[in-house]
Amino acid sequence: MSDAEFKDFVTHRSPALLRTAYLLCGGDHGAAEDLLQEVLERVFPRWRRIRRHPEPYVRAALANAATNRWRHRARRITETALHRDDPQPHVSSPEERVLDHDLVVRALATLPPRMRAVLVLRFFDDLSEADTASALRCGVGTVKSQTSRGLARLRETFAEPATTAPQTTHRSS
């Protein structure tokens, strides 16, 4: 019975959860599906314990899995830098108040994973600051500051039309 219940949950709630995963993965559908599948597979052995409130649990697990790059980060003595020609996305003029949603997803993808997760949980999944903090196992103050900084960075991205292509250096993880 528990297996059927779990499958039912996956069948009916995967589309919504996939959308969250998609944003957490910076707009990569394939990676989002992989992430969601991995998280749900990990949830399955614990289903009996969480089945009364599975969705908040899974959503929190998604956000943490997406931000959990730490376990894949090799601590190296020498850093290998990746130079990336990373021009800012072309934006609509200030007079047009409709945002190109593809560009928003791309801009979201440029944020650090944790900051991105905060914005996704707050403004896509519509969680409160307290629920977001609980999901990400951090303080409400952290959620507030990450929200503020994340929105500021997105607003910078959409503030002016692109005129040059600034170089952005990323450190491989």
Partner 1 sequence: MDTRELTHALREATEDLEPRPDFAAAVVSGGRRRRNRNRFAATAAVAGVAAVAAVVAVTVPAQQSAPPPGQATSTPFTPKEDLRLVHAGGALVDDEDVTSVVVHAWATGMDGAPVNGDGVLDDRLGEPHIYWADQTAYGVTALVTQIVRLPADDRVTAEEQGQQRVATGVVATAPGTDEFRLLGVQVDGAGSAGQFLLPDDRTVVAVARPDLAGETGGMWVSPEIHYDEDGTSVREWTAVELTDGIGTVELAEGTNPLNVRLIAGDRKTPPQRENMKIGGHLPLLRTATTQLVTAQRGLPWEGTLTAVEPDGLASPTADTFATAVRGLLEPASYIPEPTRWTVVARAPSGTTVIIGQWQELDHPARLYAVTVGQDGRTVIRVEQVAVLNPGESLPVVYQLPDGEGFLVAAQGQQLSYRLSVGDTWSEPVTDAALVPYTVTAQVRVGTVVVDLPVR
Residues numbered 111-130 forming contacts with partner 1, rule: CB under 8 A: 114, 119-120, 123-124, 126
Q: How many CB atoms lie under 10 A from the CB of residue 115?
A: 20
Distances (CA, A) of 41 to 3, 53, 140: 12, 17, 29
| The one among 134, 140, 144, 149 contacting partner 1 by CB under 8 A | 134
Distance CA 22, CA 74 (A): 25
Size of the site for partner 1 (CB under 8 A): 89
Distance CA 84, CA 166 (A): 9
Minimum distance from residue 1 beta carbon to partner 1 (Å)? 14
| The one among 28, 51, 112, 129 contacting partner 1 by CB under 8 A | 28
101 counts as binding partner 1 under rule CB under 8 A? yes
Burial class (CB in 10 A: 0-12, 13-18, 19+), 67: middle
| The one among 121, 128, 129, 137 contacting partner 1 by CB under 8 A | 137
Q: Which two tokens stand for residue 28?
A: 């990569």
| The one among 51, 118, 136, 149 contacting partner 1 by CB under 8 A | 136
Nearer to partner 1 by Cβ, of 33 and 144: the residue is 33
Distance CA 43, CA 139 (A): 24
Query: Which 33-72 residues touch partner 1, going by CB under 8 A?
Result: 33-34, 36-37, 39-46, 49-50, 56-57, 60-61, 64-65, 67-68, 70-72
Query: Which 76-95 residues touch partner 1, going by CB under 8 A?
Result: 76-78, 80-85, 87, 89-90
What is the amino acid identity at position 49? R
